[in-house]
Amino acid sequence: MEDQREYFKIALRNIRTRRLRSFLTVLGIIIGVFLIISLLSLSEGLKTTINKQLQAMGGEMIMVMPGGEEDIFTSMMFGGAKLQKQDIEAIKKAKGVDKVLGFSYTGTIARYKDESKQIAMCGYDPWKESLDVLSIFQGWSLAEGRWPSKGNQILIGQYIANEIFSKKIKAGSEMVIKGKKFEVAGILNSLGSKQDDSMAYMDMKVYQNLTGEKQGTAAYAIVKLKEGADENVVKTEIEDSLEKTRKRRAGTDVADFSVITSEKMGEITGTILDIIQVVIIGFASIAIVVGGIGITNSMFTSVRERTKEIGIMKAIGAKNSAILSIFLIEAGIVGIFGGIGGVLLGSILAKVIDYYGQINPTFYFTTTISPWMIVFALVFSFSIGCLAGFFPARAAAKLKPVDALRKYE
């Protein structure tokens, strides 16, 4: 062990004397690890956000959303086609359906006192009924104020009330959204996700007046089932019913919709996110491998530059294993430095994204960095370093002392 410590010192010295080149080599690994950490932390964060969202949606509900099941993810993130009046009617007609709540949301600017901030507004249709269903079945409750009863009254989420504006918003205050004055009737307790907590909820009619969205349509629909109805049976009923109206309207542009039970929703997003993570790890690993090749390359030049030193060390009693150790340690150090640098940069980016999300409520990305990610990144970069350094180190160890010493400089 004693000698390993000495080899470590020599390796470190070697890295230091070729500072710039070592740094560039380290940079290759840094970029790879940085990619892994930042992308993984984003996708982890996405997973957390979506899981919260799903929990907020609650069980025993069915969602109808635009797009085929395979592109649920895109439509959730970026929106898509709208449900038409006939579609909503068709859903209502399906067996086992108790209530259908259509809803749409979009980002907008809201003014409170003299401050204008980005929030999201959300319309529910039918408004009164929605409030009933949401409060009874989805656990909506008021932190303050009362339920709205007039068209110019809205409900706002916790995040709008307490975080977005520099002054806290009290129930009964006035707020201006898209140039229209609203009274904040009530403030909701947290709904469990930041996205839901940074929305202003209002009557769909008012929403559509303000946004210009076509009256009677909705981006999504939540279906409340009749007592005792089976999720999967009702899902099929809704699909059949939608299919019929669609046939009737054949020829016009009829968008594809997916009918998804809450259980299925969790499954789909889970799988999609898993795939995304695998892809991310794949690409980032390629980046690290490229960095590793950089290490191999740099180590080979290092061995060539120091052939004479290797000869000297052998002449004064260094065994092949000692030379191998020195060069492996050097490569390992480069790898681990790259790992540390990448973890640091990745964490910084993650924090920046989080911070950006905090000041921009409609930016829903959050990041999560778990210890296993850091451990993985460090172990991975160290192993890549050693692996990349192995062949150059072996080449160094195998040099015949006389040839190494004779090297002409």
Distance (Å, whole) CA 63 – CA 262: 7
Q: Closer to another protein at the Cβ: 166 or 320?
A: 320
Instruction: Identify which of 288, 382, 209, 306 has the alpha carbon closest to the alpha carbon of residue 27.
Output: 288
Q: Closer to another protein at the Cβ: 232 or 320?
A: 320
Q: For the CB of residue 19, give the shortest distance to another protein in the complex, in Å.
A: 12
Distance (Å, whole) CA 206 – CA 203: 5
Q: For the CB of residue 302, give the shortest distance to another protein in the complex, in Å.
A: 12
The answer for 4, left when phi > 0, alpha when psi is -120 to 50, beta otherwise, is alpha
Q: For the CB of residue 300, give the shortest distance to another protein in the complex, in Å.
A: 19
Which range touches another protein (CB under 8 A), out of 247-255, 256-264, 351-359, 399-407?
Answer: 399-407
Distance (Å, whole) CA 391 – CA 252: 65
Q: Closer to another protein at the Cβ: 13 or 95?
A: 13
Q: For the CB of residue 320, give the shortest distance to another protein in the complex, in Å.
A: 5
Give the three-class secondary structure for 102. Answer: strand
Alpha helices of 1-18 — where are they, by DSSP H? 2-17
Distance (Å, whole) CA 183 – CA 256: 37
Q: Closer to another protein at the Cβ: 10 or 276?
A: 10
Q: For the CB of residue 328, give the shortest distance to another protein in the complex, in Å.
A: 17
Q: For the CB of residue 16, give the shortest distance to another protein in the complex, in Å.
A: 8
Give the three-class secondary structure for 218. Answer: strand
Supply angle C-alpha 202, 205, 206, rounded to 5: 55
Q: For the CB of residue 315, give the shortest distance to another protein in the complex, in Å.
A: 5
Q: For the CB of residue 304, give the shortest distance to another protein in the complex, in Å.
A: 15
Binders of another protein in range 13-42 (CB under 8 A): 13-14, 16-17
- What backbone torsions phi and psi does residue 217 show, to the nearest 5 degrees? -95, 175
Which range touches another protein (CB under 8 A), out of 9-17, 47-55, 129-137, 238-246?
Answer: 9-17
Q: Closer to another protein at the Cβ: 15 or 110?
A: 15
User: How many residues sit close enough to another protein to count as binding (CB under 8 A)?
Assistant: 25
Q: For the CB of residue 271, give the shortest distance to another protein in the complex, in Å.
A: 54
Q: Closer to another protein at the Cβ: 16 or 247?
A: 16
Q: For the CB of residue 318, give the shortest distance to another protein in the complex, in Å.
A: 5
Among 286, 293, 379, 402, binds another protein (CB under 8 A): 402
Which range touches another protein (CB under 8 A), out of 7-15, 81-89, 216-224, 343-351?
Answer: 7-15
Which range touches another protein (CB under 8 A), out of 23-31, 204-212, 342-350, 396-404?
Answer: 396-404
Binders of another protein in range 270-309 (CB under 8 A): 308-309
Among 58, 79, 216, 401, binds another protein (CB under 8 A): 401
DSSP H or E segment with residue 223? strand 220-225
- In contact, 118 and 107? CB cutoff 8 Å: yes
Which range touches another protein (CB under 8 A), out of 3-11, 87-95, 132-140, 161-169?
Answer: 3-11
- In contact, 392 and 303? CB cutoff 8 Å: yes
Distance (Å, whole) CA 83 – CA 64: 9
Residue 228 CA from chain centroid, whole number:
36
Distance (Å, whole) CA 302 – CA 200: 63
Binders of another protein in range 311-330 (CB under 8 A): 312-322
The structure tokens 């529910």 sit at 124
Q: Closer to another protein at the Cβ: 3 or 263?
A: 3
Which range touches another protein (CB under 8 A), out of 151-159, 188-196, 331-339, 395-403?
Answer: 395-403
Among 146, 226, 248, 400, binds another protein (CB under 8 A): 400
Which residues lie across from 176 on neighbouring strands?
A: 111, 181
Distance (Å, whole) CA 331 – CA 325: 10
Q: For the CB of residue 316, give the shortest distance to another protein in the complex, in Å.
A: 4
Which residues touch 121 (CB under 8 Å, ≥6 apart)? 105, 106, 108, 110, 177, 178, 199, 200, 201, 202, 207, 210, 211
What residue ranges bind another protein (CB under 8 A)?
2-3, 6, 10, 13-14, 16-17, 308-309, 312-322, 400-402, 405
